[in-house]
Structure formats: structure tokens, C-alpha cells
Amino acid sequence: MIEAVPDCLVTGFETLIDGLELPDEGDRHVLAAAIRSQAQAIVTFNLKDFPASILESHDIEALHPDNFLLGLMDLSEASVVAAFSEQIASLQNPPVTPASAIDTLRNRDLPQTADALASILL
């Protein structure tokens, strides 16, 4: 990951953790890292543990991965489709078809993204 995105690691957030409150204390490091990196969003399936009432004071929102991916598709559908297609092509053992990859997305709670990709690729 570091080779592909050299500035992907967030450091220096630890001092923020104790001052944060979330429903699950074990998630405070995620919010602290988001604050330190000036992130606009936390992408998570675990929305219940990142309430908007807490995040909005930090100008951060919690996004379900399906909504995040749809937002990326709105910004650049061609880029998302190309990245998805490239990922599928790289899976050789066993090979994966676009249809099976889309089914996997659907089974992983990404139904809107699966539908959007299916309408383009299938």
C-alpha cells in the first residue's frame, strides 16, 4: 500500500484519541486519524458507531462503501469501470468473470455499485 500511495499512513493522531467519544471506544482511533489527516469522510460499513451528530463537529461524514463508490462513479464512471476491469483481469487463480465479480460485490453489501457496474459491463 505504501508503495502505491506513499502518503497513505496517518501519524500523530494518538494524542487526539482520549478526547473523542464514540459509541464504540475502539473506533476512536479511526476518527482521530480522520481529524489529523483532514479527511472529509470515513468510509465504513459500521455507520452506527460513527454518528453524524459527533462527526459533523469535525466536518467529517460517515459513508457506506456503496454510497462512496457510487459517488466515485458520479465523478468519473470511466475511471471506476477501468479500475474494476483491471482488478478482474489481474485475478488469474482462479480467473474471475465480470458477472461473478459483480455478484461478489452484491453479496458484500454493495448492491447499488453492483447494479451500476452490471448495467455498464453486462
| Residue 8 located in a structural domain | no
Q: Please indicate, yes or no, whether residues 74 and 114 belong to a single structural domain of this protein.
A: yes
Nearest one of 120, 121, 73 to 97, comparing CA atoms: 121
| Residue 72 located in a structural domain | yes
| Residue 9 located in a structural domain | no
Check residue 1 and give its pLDDT: 83
Check residue 4 and give its pLDDT: 86
Nearest one of 83, 89, 122, 90 to 106, comparing CA atoms: 122
CA distances from 10 to 31, 112, 121 (A): 11, 30, 36
Whole-number percent of the chain with pLDDT over 70 = 100
| Residue 7 located in a structural domain | no
d(CA 92, CA 107): 21
Residue range 86-106: mean pLDDT, rounded: 95
Are the C-beta atoms of residues 33 and 7 closer than 8 Å to each other? no
Q: Angle at Cα 84 formed by Cα 79 and Cα 86, nearest 5°?
A: 95
Confidence of residue 52 (pLDDT cuts 50, 70, 90): very high
Task: Give me the domain span that covers residue 99.
Answer: 66-121
Q: Please indicate, yes or no, whether residues 75 and 108 belong to a single structural domain of this protein.
A: yes
